[in-house]
């Protein structure tokens, strides 16, 4: 782990150098293709960075922040769009806006704040999930089906909330929420568009959905263009996840994860089309039933297509073990300090 942390520091130093280049040179070049030509080499380098890390959490977070969302933000920046436009006031903010889920607004907007005890409950539940891997062989198939989705959701929720606190204190700006209680989603459109991984959804909407929709509107009706845009967004997300899974497993793609997102894209587009029909108004489903159907569909299809490759390669158990090691290390350091 000590060697991995040293490598992580080197990766971040190199990444900051790359982002300094993007801040000082391409930003002075005309937006569009000329600026893109100067930024693409940095995007290519960001794709390579996670390969230097073998830790599941370090390589996964590097892939998400640099190879995935960071690259898409930089490409949008080339066309004066996305979170990096207008250009942040200094390099430190540019680096944070590129890598982390932060907004450009300086003063937080009024929003419904969830009670603090809810986050404490999620932390406690996350601890239970991590220790459940020690008893995985004795768990029922039903509990095993829910174990991995809960693990991913709670880990991302807890870690990104801590990141949110850090960035808010450091920059004094509003941080984009990553999750909006996805277990309350009443449809796939609600789940993916308004509740799950909101920063990624926002960037994909700007970088994929809107451009595809605008092009398709020249070829077909506006309604069909929207559906094609939704499907294209899910397809791109699937391919991006295949790359992230490669960083985690170091195995060739099986395309199961792409099929997962293609399936959800088709179902989300179908859902949007059905909502415009008289059938949807006549046979409306109660919110409770729609929540059960939506979350159930996500859990079952993720157990079928999303998690098998991660389970076969041992990534999920390694992920849990790494997190338990970090927790034990922090506890040891805290007690030693006290």
Is there a single domain that holds both residue 189 and residue 290? yes
From 71, 99, 127, the end of a domain falls on 99
Same domain, 331 and 185: yes
pLDDT of residue 221: 87
Number of C-alpha atoms within 13 angstroms, CB side, residue 40? 6
Instruction: Decide which of 48, 78, 99 is a domain's last residue.
Output: 99
pLDDT (0 to 100) of residue 291: 94
Residue 106 confidence class, pLDDT cut points 50, 70, 90: very low
pLDDT for the residue 5: 87
Domain shared by 95 and 184, yes or no: no
pLDDT value of residue 170: 84
Domain residue limits at 330: 180-337
> Based on the domain organization, do 328 and 235 belong to the same domain?
yes
- pLDDT tens sequence across 139-148: 888 888 999 9
Residue 162 domain flag = no
What is the spatial distance between Cα 285 and Cα 297, in angstroms, rounded to a whole number?
16
C-alpha neighbours within 13 Å on the C-beta side of residue 100: 28
Residues 219 and 327 in one domain: yes
191 and 84 together in one domain: no
- The answer to whether position 287 is within a domain reads yes
Q: Is the pLDDT of residue 110 over 50?
A: no
Residue 134 belongs to some domain of the structure: no
Of 307, 310, 321, the residue nearest 132 (C-alpha): 321
Model pLDDT, residue 161: 87
Contacts of 209 (CB under 8 A, 6+ apart): 229, 230, 232, 233
Residues 189 and 93 in one domain: no
Do 184 and 94 belong together in one domain? no
Residues 323, 189 share a domain: yes
Q: What is the pLDDT of residue 315?
A: 93
**At residue 91, does pLDDT exceed 50?**
yes
- Let me know if residue 12 belongs to a domain: yes
Reply yes or no on whether the pLDDT at 111 is more than 60.
no
Q: Are the C-beta atoms of residues 158 and 127 closer than 8 Å to each other?
A: no
Higher pLDDT, 229 or 177: 229
Bigger pLDDT: 37 or 115? 37
pLDDT at 279: 67
Percent of the chain whose predicted confidence (pLDDT) is above 70: 93
For the segment 313-327, what is each residue's pLDDT rounded down to a tens digit?
999 999 999 998 888
Report yes or no on 217 lying in a domain: yes
Q: How confident is the model at residue 39 (pLDDT cuts 50, 70, 90)?
A: very high
pLDDT tens sequence across 47-73: 999 999 999 999 999 999 999 899 999
Say how far apart CA 94 and CA 85 lie, in whole Å: 10
Residue 276 lies in a domain: yes
Number of domains in the chain: 2
Q: Which pTM was predicted?
A: 0.90
Question: For residue range 221-256, what is the model confidence (pLDDT) as tens digits?
Answer: 888 999 999 999 999 999 999 999 999 999 999 999
**Residue 120 placed within a domain:** no
Domain boundary among 72, 99, 126: 99
Does 78 share its domain with 186?
A: no
Q: Lowest-pLDDT range, 58-72, 88-102, 165-179?
A: 165-179
| Domain shared by 188 and 329, yes or no | yes
Cis peptide before 271 (omega within 30 of 0): no
Neighbours of 181 (CB within 10 A): 11
Average pLDDT score over the chain: 89
Does residue 300 lie within any of the structural domains?
yes
* 315 and 223 together in one domain: yes
């Amino acid at each position: 782990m000590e060697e991995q942390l040293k490598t992580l520091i080197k990766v971040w130093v190199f990444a900051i150098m790359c982002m300094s280049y993007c801040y000082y040179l391409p930003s002075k070049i005309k937006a569009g293709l000329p600026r893109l030509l100067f930024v693409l080499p940095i995007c290519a380098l960001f794709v390579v960075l996670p390969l230097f890390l073998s830790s599941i959490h370090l390589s996964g977070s590097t892939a998400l922040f640099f190879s995935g969302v960071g690259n898409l933000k930089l490409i949008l920046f080339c066309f004066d769009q996305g979170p990096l436009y207008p250009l942040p006031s200094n390099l430190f903010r540019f680096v944070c806006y590129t890598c982390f889920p932060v907004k450009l607004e300086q003063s937080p907007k009024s929003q419904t704040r969830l009670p603090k005890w809810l986050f404490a409950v999620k932390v406690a539940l996350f601890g239970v999930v991590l220790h459940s891997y020690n008893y995985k062989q004795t768990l029922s198939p039903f509990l095993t089906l829910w174990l991995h989705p809960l693990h991913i959701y709670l880990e991302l929720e807890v870690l990104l909330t801590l990141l949110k606190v850090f960035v808010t204190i450091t920059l004094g700006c509003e941080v984009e929420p990553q999750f909006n209680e996805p277990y309350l989603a009443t449809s796939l459109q609600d789940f993916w568009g308004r509740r799950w991984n909101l920063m990624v959804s926002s960037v994909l909407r700007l970088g994929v959905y809107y451009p595809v929709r605008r092009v398709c509107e020249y070829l077909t009706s506006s309604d069909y263009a929207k559906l094609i845009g939704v499907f294209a967004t899910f397809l791109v997300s699937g391919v991006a996840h295949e790359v992230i899974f490669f960083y985690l497993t170091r195995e060739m793609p099986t395309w199961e994860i792409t099929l997962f997102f293609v399936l959800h894209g088709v179902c989300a587009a179908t859902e949007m089309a059905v909502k415009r029909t008289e059938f949807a108004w006549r046979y409306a489903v109660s919110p409770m039933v729609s929540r059960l159907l939506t979350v159930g569909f996500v859990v079952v299809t993720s157990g079928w297509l999303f998690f098998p490759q991660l389970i076969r390669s041992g990534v999920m158990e390694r992920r849990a073990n790494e997190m338990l090691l970090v927790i034990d290390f922090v506890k040891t350091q805290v007690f030693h300090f006290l």
